[in-house]
Amino acid sequence: MDMDGLKRQAAAQALEHVRDGMKLGLGTGSTAKHFVELLGMRVRDGLSVIGVPTSEATRINAERCGIALTTLDEVDRLDLTVDGADEIDPSLNLIKGGGGALLREKIVAAASDRMIVIADDSKWVDVLGRFPLPVEVIPFGLAATRRAIGKAFAQCGDSGQMVLRKGKDGHVFVTDGGHWIVDAHLGRITDAPRLAGLLTSIPGVVEHGLFIGLAGMAVLAGAGGIRVVERR
């Protein structure tokens, strides 16, 4: 089965955890897109759920699939968020933000009672960091913010090139929130929870792609079938 088929399998498995009446966080990316499409099919068959999308792209897709939407201003907590990831480690800590939606994704995941992460099993790693870590920043004072980010890396014993993300059109990539993203090529993150805390405390950093302690379950689809990992 090709990669896209594996992603759809993981999405289908996560759908088993959805119950009638649930308030759902809807993730962003190619794997989460499968989940939204499969959820839309269940909605057409009579399932009643309401969703909070984590990006404009997901909002448009969810509307196309006939899923009722709301916002975190209108509902208090969500029952479940299903989202993809760029890397997943054995503690179910994640790197997210390859698609640029990390800020809304983290707000929605933090407002959810449960988060299930869905992926093909190439996303499973022993140590986070091979995938460049996205750090969402305010354009004002970018050079100062980059220096502070570099110091945080050094404090954790990490280092690597920081690259301002560009879109397909060659212009600076702008997030749904109007911010920029610096992708940090660290190779290996020595202490992800510590680095997450340090990055969060930097003025100019809006959010970063380390999702620590948010995912409760990972559904990984591979050539040998589906593997479900729960956080201990």
Closer residue to ligand 5RP (CB): 141 or 213: 213
Interaction of residue 210 with ligand 5RP, rule CB under 6 A: no
Residues 6 or more apart whose CB falls under 8 angstroms from that of 57 comprise 28, 99, 101
Interaction of residue 86 with ligand 5RP, rule CB under 6 A: yes
Burial degree of 19 (CB within 10 A; 0-12, 13-18, 19+): exposed
Q: Which of 62, 102, 137, 181 binds ligand 5RP (CB under 6 A)?
A: 102
Catalytic residue of the set 56, 74, 105, 230: 105
Closer residue to ligand 5RP (CB): 27 or 204: 27
Q: Which of 28, 61, 112, 175 binds ligand 5RP (CB under 6 A)?
A: 28
Closer residue to ligand 5RP (CB): 149 or 215: 215
Q: Is the dihedral of CA 190, 196, 202, 205 positive or negative?
A: positive
Interaction of residue 85 with ligand 5RP, rule CB under 6 A: yes
Interaction of residue 148 with ligand 5RP, rule CB under 6 A: no
User: Strand (E) positions, 21-160?
Assistant: 23-26, 50-53, 68-69, 80-83, 87-88, 94-95, 115-120, 133-137
Interaction of residue 107 with ligand 5RP, rule CB under 6 A: no
Token look-up 């509307």 returns 63
Interaction of residue 31 with ligand 5RP, rule CB under 6 A: yes
CA dihedral 131, 133, 139, 143 (to 10 degrees): -100
User: Strand (E) positions, 45-84?
Assistant: 50-53, 68-69, 80-83
Interaction of residue 132 with ligand 5RP, rule CB under 6 A: no
Closer residue to ligand 5RP (CB): 37 or 150: 37
Q: Is 105 a catalytic residue?
A: yes
Binding positions for ligand 5RP, rule: CB under 6 A: 27-32, 83-86, 96-102, 105
Active-site residue set: 105
